[in-house]
Amino acid sequence: MKDELDDIKAMWQQTKEISRQHNTTDVHTLIALGETKKKSMMAAHYGNALVLSATVLMLVFYFYYLYHFQMTLSHIGYNLMIGGLVIRIGIEIFSVIRSKRIKISDTATHSLETSIAFYQFRRRIHGPVTIFIFIAYFIGFYMLTPEFSKYIALQWVIIMDSSALVIGIVLALFIRRGILQELRDLEKIVELQKSLVKEK
């Protein structure tokens, strides 16, 4: 009887050890996955900031050095375009700073709260803020039309404005896809951290 009891104890200990090792492996795998998603998001923030910065530099060169618009409406228009992009660059840089504070492997409740706060921040940014900047940019562009029409034939102005509308729709769909992917990744990170806090 004693031998059978010892065998049962040994089997129980062995099963417990295997289960513990399996859970540890799962946790490490989940943390690695979370870190990968975090790096991917940070790369996207850097990429957005670089693309927007290059666009701002091109616009500044065109509007301030290459071609001098005369009408006040045009000045308001191109400053609206540039201003919106500069604000968005600032948001992306601020997002990088905030995302660096997220520690995937940290099981503290504070770390989970930081991740949730960042997720909510990005949702707000991708809502009214992004829509406002996007619309302001294209309003600014269309405010240049009266001055363009003084130097360009009407048919080319119509083609230019129509093309801008098509580009705007395609760009909106592309941006929306990126936003949805980022929010899905952030949701996964938050869920991962919730599970790690429960494991603690």
- Does residue 6 lie in a domain region? no
Q: Tens of pLDDT along 126-172?
A: 888 888 999 999 999 999 999 988 888 889 989 999 999 998 899 88
Q: What is the mean pLDDT of the chain?
A: 79
Asked whether residue 7 is assigned to any structural domain, the reply reads no
User: Would you say residue 15 lies in a domain?
Assistant: no
pLDDT tens, residue by residue, 92-133: 899 888 888 777 666 556 667 777 888 888 888 888 888 899
Please indicate, yes or no, if residue 62 is contained in any of the structural domains. Answer: yes
Angle value at C-alpha 157, between 154 and 163, nearest 5 degrees = 140
In a domain, 26, yes or no: yes
At 44 the pLDDT is 82
Q: What are phi and psi of 49, to 5 degrees?
A: -60, -40
- In a domain, residue 37? The reply is yes
Q: Is residue 115 part of a domain?
A: yes
Q: Can you give the residue range of the structural domain that contains 114?
A: 21-199
Token pair 């060169």 is found at: 61
Helix (H/G/I), strand (E/B), else coil: 124? helix
Q: How many folded domains does the chain comprise?
A: 1
3 state SS of 69: coil
Give the pLDDT confidence score for residue 5 in this predicted structure: 37
Q: Is residue 10 part of a domain?
A: no
